[in-house]
């Protein structure tokens, strides 16, 4: 199952400096992870509102040709962070489009163990209130995935809601995201066939580093 099928271009995007920087960062990030790279060289550039810093990778593994699992830390930090990530460039030039998902485990006040957090980031013109997500099982049956009350081009799901989604992904085959695209719809596909192994390895790496 491919990560995504690139649609036919609908016209050239704006060639503003932010576009070029954003595009080059996503492509570089995807290339770095596909190569199993061990170093972030972000130059302080901010993408989707997230400040990036140079980080050394202590552990890296790739799943289904799409998902990246990594543990890394910045200079001066005593502990690494461990996370899952998917970078999907689902349309190339001249109509560049991309989506990113981060899976992390965060500390919350009054909770002994860290809780899962899913952070989706889409293109600026996509509103999550109009995104439809379906978890497709290996037998082809589908189950709608709730995106809660997310709106705008970023969606954060955490705690018990994230745990329920991860449980469904563990047993799923593919995640389908039906996106609004300039008067039409575009479906992208994220593989889940080996997501259970990713979750198990992520738990093991977090345990080894005292990040539970």
Confidence band of 23 (pLDDT split at 50, 70, 90): low
CA atoms within 13 A on the CB side of 97: 25
Report residue 27's pLDDT band, with 50, 70 and 90 as the boundaries. Answer: low
What's the pTM? Answer: 0.78
Residue 69 predicted with pLDDT over 70:
yes
Residue-range domains of the chain with CATH: 17-208 (2.60.40.1880)
Give the pLDDT mean for 15-21.
37
């Amino acid at each position: 199952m491919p990560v995504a099928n690139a649609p036919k271009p609908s016209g050239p995007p704006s060639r503003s400096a932010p576009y070029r920087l954003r595009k080059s960062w996503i492509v570089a990030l995807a290339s770095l992870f596909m190569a199993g790279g061990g170093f972030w060289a972000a130059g302080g550039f901010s993408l989707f509102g997230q400040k990036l810093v140079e980080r050394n990778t202590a552990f890296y593994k790739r799943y289904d040709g799409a998902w990246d699992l990594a543990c890394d830390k910045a200079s001066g930090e005593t502990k690494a962070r461990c996370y899952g990530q998917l970078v999907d460039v689902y349309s190339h030039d001249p109509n560049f489009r991309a989506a990113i998902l981060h899976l992390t485990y965060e500390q919350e006040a009054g909770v002994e163990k860290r809780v899962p957090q899913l952070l989706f980031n889409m293109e600026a013109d996509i509103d999550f209130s109009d995104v439809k997500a379906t978890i497709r099982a290996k037998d082809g049956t589908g189950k709608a995935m709730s995106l809660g009350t997310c709106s705008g081009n970023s969606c954060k799901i955490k705690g018990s809601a994230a745990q329920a989604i991860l449980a469904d992904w563990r047993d799923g085959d593919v995640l389908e995201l039906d996106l609004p695209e300039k008067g039409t719809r575009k479906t992208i596909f994220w593989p889940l066939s080996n997501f259970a192994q990713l979750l198990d390895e992520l738990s093991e790496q977090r345990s080894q580093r005292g990040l539970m």
